[in-house]
Chain A
Amino acid sequence: MKYIDEYRDPELARLLLAELGRVTTRPWTLMEVCGGQTNTIVRQGIDELLPGGIEMIHGPGCPVCVTPLEVLDRAMAIAATPGTILTSFGDMLRVPGSRTDLLAQRARGADVRIVYSPMDAVTLARDNPDRQVVFLAVGFETTAPANAMAVLHAAALGITNFSVLVSHVLVPPAMTAVLRAPGCRVQGFLAAGHVCAVMGWSEYEPLAEQFRVPIVVTGFEPLDLLEGILMTVRQLEQGRHEVENQYARAVRRDGNTAARAAIRRVFRVTDRAWRGIGTIPDSGLTLTDEFAAFDARRRFDVGRLVVREHPDCVAGDILTGAKTPLDCAAYGTTCTPRTPLGAPMVSAEGTCAAYYTAGRRQEDRHASR
């Protein structure tokens, strides 16, 4: 862990902040795309240390937050089907659907299980041949390779009682949607380091060029983020708009070619709905025809789902950076981790939950800036 400690050195943090103060001549608004980065920024209070005029707005990169209500409601309907084991990662279990969440459903008797890898779900299917095991496969490009491998593994083993409810989303189309949104204030991006570890960064180059926006691939430790912010601000101050890599210790230009090949084999690009944002063209992954037999949507007829988002939830504005949680009337009042109106109040990576857990209150807004 010494390797990590070096990215938390307070003296280096002070030096980076001093340098940032030196190069900054005017206000800039940056977006960190990834929820993991949001978590570090808020938990470490990095945004409150930045020189005046540099504002961080939090992007749509929380996979839990952007999973559409329809998918959650479908997962719950499948979990309610007798003989089914519904599996997913831990933080999906508390996300509110239209009426309930998977944890509450488990308390009512559904067999809902946390897994730590999609391979565990395949094993569960192998060990329970008389049950249907469904894996709720959500997330960005980071989780897609492992989910693809699970499908390939199940196919190779001839397992027929395993299926996936796929709701993968892709980062570059989301960044495009943010940049095209009316009133977009984002002038530079910190791109998600672990997404780029899989996909590389070449796909960001057309985006930087088209929108004349600097994009810096950034890691997750406090000093990663401070350095990523400094690199982005330097570009803005110098009038550049390039893709740079702060996270060189983990990311190569072409990413992980084996992982990308697995994704290409199992998934194809499709339009995808994002919770709170709407449908973004070519922004998701779905199973290819070759693996359609593993599609839980085909395997389970759950009838027509009536999907209803809470009217007071402004998750879409939060996820696109148009608003912060402190701009939301429901934040901390009717919307808390106990009674989340929307997904950003649920996941550790959700902006609202990160703010709430770090004790940020609406009255602090007036005190801090």
Chain B
Amino acid sequence: MRHVDPATGTCPAPVPETERVLLGHGSGGRLSAELIGRVLVPALGAAAPGGPLEDAAVVEVGESDLALSTDAYVVDPLFFPGGDIGSMAVHGTVNDLAMRAAMPVALTVAYVVEEGLPLPVLRSVAESAGEAAVAAGVPIVSGDTKVVGRGAADRLFVITAGLGRRLPGVAPSVAAARPGDAILLSGPIGAHGVTVLSTREGLGFEADLVSDSRPLHRLVAAMVAAGGDAVHALRDPTRGGLASALNEIAAASGVGAEIDERALPVPEPVRAACEMLGLDPAYVANEGCLVAFVAAERADAVLAAMRDRPEGAQAVRIGTACDDGPVVVRTAVGSRRVLDVLLGEQLPRIC
């Protein structure tokens, strides 16, 4: 607990985060987890999920294992190299289903539009969402539109929900990783977060960068075909980046992890931008890659299957799950450090 100055009754350090929602509560870091764990889930009472928090929930309906997911997209800018809020909303929900080894059956989409938004912008986003859904092979079957007054929303928010059917014989879960599992990463990290930041702020890095936004369900299907139930845990490292995804799996599964820093694929423009801004690529958001914990004996086959798909062409093994302990990185010079979850959002440094 924090100190309260008895003389004044005031707190000397930052305002308690319980008092107001900060941007950091949406960062995917520790503050996000606490907001969900301490405020949102308890408020659901008996309606709260019983198990670990997953990208999508698996619901038994009759004899089918269905997966259900919902997500809201509030990205600024609406358009960025490699994507836009519409395609991202489709990819994000398809990927949330895919992380439970569920293939998308149908999506719904809702638009919250700020008064004054140019119609061509809305049309372009909606068309992009439609094209992304067609490319992913999933229909958008329902939707909603709300228009709010100027200032009540930031131009356009997109909310998608997805229904999927789980591939038979597999049940990947953030809580199912085991010691000895190989940790596989499907592609380079950091491009999405740095592209969006650079486009929003006009930093100039976006000239060399595109977001990695794309659907991953076909990649997962290939992994499952090659590895079956050896595919223990899947997570797409969106907000909070790879570091948060690894920590979430490790915590939910009760395992540790050791990652080789030199194995982490960081594209050169991403690395350059992160160096300039003082950001760690391991914490930067992605929209088109996944991290997988796979039983060691099937890891090579799964990795080969990943590399056969365009989404996984640059897949690599980045480390190994261990019995317990934190997520640890073996550094470039041969030392080790803990790769913890950040408190809130990463802030660009001064110099």
Contacts and interface: CB of A to CB of B under 8 A. Distances in A.
Contact of B332 (A44, A90, A114, A308): A44
Given A42-B337, A348-B278, A100 B14 contact: yes
Interface stretch (A201-209, A263-271, A285-293, A334-342): A334-342
B194 to A, nearest CB: 13
Contacts of A226: 333
A139 interface: yes
Contacts of A340: 13-14
Contact of A341 (B10, B12, B347): B12
B347 A99 contact: no
A103 interface: yes
Given A91-B349, A101-B14, A143-B351, A338 B343 contact: yes
Contacts of A349: 278, 349-350
Contacts of A337: 342-343
Interface string B319-351: 000000010100111111111101110111111
Contact of A312 (B3, B203, B262): B3
Contacts of A222: 331-333
Interface stretch (A45-53, A275-283, A294-302): A45-53
A63 B351 contact: yes
A104 interface: yes
A107 B21 contact: yes
A36 interface: yes
A59 interface: no
A49 B335 contact: yes
B350 A139 contact: yes
A339 B13 contact: yes
Contact of B350 (A14, A44, A63, A334): A63
Interface string A323-367: 000000000001001111100000111000000111110000000
Given A13-B334, A226-B333, A359-B337, A114 B348 contact: yes
A96 interface: yes
B275 interface: yes
Which of B14, B272, B337 is most buried by chain A, counting CB atoms within 10 A of its CB? Answer: B14
Contacts of B21: 107
A13 B275 CA distance: 20
Interface stretch (B22-30, B38-46, B60-68, B177-185): B22-30
B7 to A, nearest CB: 9
Give chain A's interface residue range (CB within 8 Å of chain B).
35 or more
Interface string B298-336: 000000000000000000000000000010100111111
A10 B335 CA distance: 10
A305 to B, nearest CB: 14
Given A1-B271, A104-B15, A46 B349 contact: no
Contact of A96 (B10, B14, B271, B338): B14
Contact of B347 (A4, A10, A91): A91
Nearest to A339: B2
A104 B351 CA distance: 23
Given A1-B271, A94-B14, A348-B278, A45 B350 contact: no
B333 A46 contact: yes
B351 A10 contact: no
Nearest to A42: B337
Nearest to B34: A338
Contacts of B348: 89-91, 114, 116
A81 interface: no
Interface string A226-243: 100000000000000000
Interface string A102-119: 011011100000101000
B351 A142 contact: yes
A64 interface: yes
Contacts of B351: 36, 63, 139-140, 142-143, 194
A215 interface: no
B343 A10 contact: no
Contacts of A108: 15, 20
A310 interface: yes
A84 interface: no
A358 B339 CA distance: 6
B350 A143 contact: yes
Given A44-B333, A312-B3, A347 B326 contact: no
Contacts of A310: 3, 12-13
A92 B24 CA distance: 15
Interface in A118-154: 138-140, 142-143
Of all A-B residue pairs in the complex, the 5 with the closest CB atoms, nearest first, are: A359-B338, A45-B335, A90-B347, A104-B15, A90-B348
Interface of B: 2-3, 5, 10-15, 17, 20-24, 30-31, 201, 203, 262, 268, 271-272, 275, 277-278, 326, 328, 331-340, 342-344, 346-351
22 contacts: A36-B351, A43-B331, A44-B331, A46-B333, A48-B335, A90-B348, A99-B10, A107-B15, A116-B203, A139-B351, A310-B13, A334-B2, A334-B3, A337-B342, A339-B2, A339-B14, A340-B14, A341-B12, A356-B340, A357-B340, A359-B326, A359-B328
Given A92-B350, A334-B3, 11 more contacts: A1-B272, A13-B332, A44-B332, A45-B336, A63-B350, A94-B344, A96-B14, A107-B22, A116-B348, A223-B333, A359-B326
